[in-house]
Amino acid sequence: MATLSSHLLNSVNGTHAEGIKVIIYQINPNGDKKNFFETETSKDGRILKDFDLSKEDCECDYEMICKTADYFSEKKIVSEISVKFRMEDPNKKYHIPIIISPNGYSIWWSK
């Protein structure tokens, strides 16, 4: 079973980014995109989901969209964050931490 997780942190005040809508799309090799998973970040700014991935699922690309526009009350430039990635191993843990601000973000891949 593959595990996908993320942790969104607010760089303005150092808190966990709670209540941000996160949508995961699966993009098939032919370019078709479908909604794969949808949730909101928890009280501690996290998402966590286990997936039973088939061989075909492992050949797809994925896109994680974090809808950050409504999270910050002040002027903001970044309204959503898009991260494209692959889950090629059906038994691996995939973790994508993101530090967010009204006008930018920082992301890295964590094993």
* Beta-bridge partner residues of 49: 4
Tens of pLDDT along 12-32? 999 999 999 999 999 999 999
Q: What is the CATH number of domain 2-107?
A: 2.60.40.180
Is the per-residue pLDDT at 79 higher than 90? no
Which pLDDT score is estimated for 74? 73
Q: Which two tokens stand for residue 100?
A: 């967010």
Backbone dihedral region for residue 71 (phi beyond 0: left; psi -120 to 50: alpha; all else: beta): alpha
* Interior angle at CA 16, CA 86 and CA 39, nearest 5: 50
Closest of 89, 97, 98, 106 to residue 3, by C-alpha = 89
Tens of pLDDT along 42-73? 999 999 999 999 999 999 999 999 999 889 87
Is the per-residue pLDDT at 75 higher than 80? no
| Under 8 Å between Cβ of 22 and 39 | yes
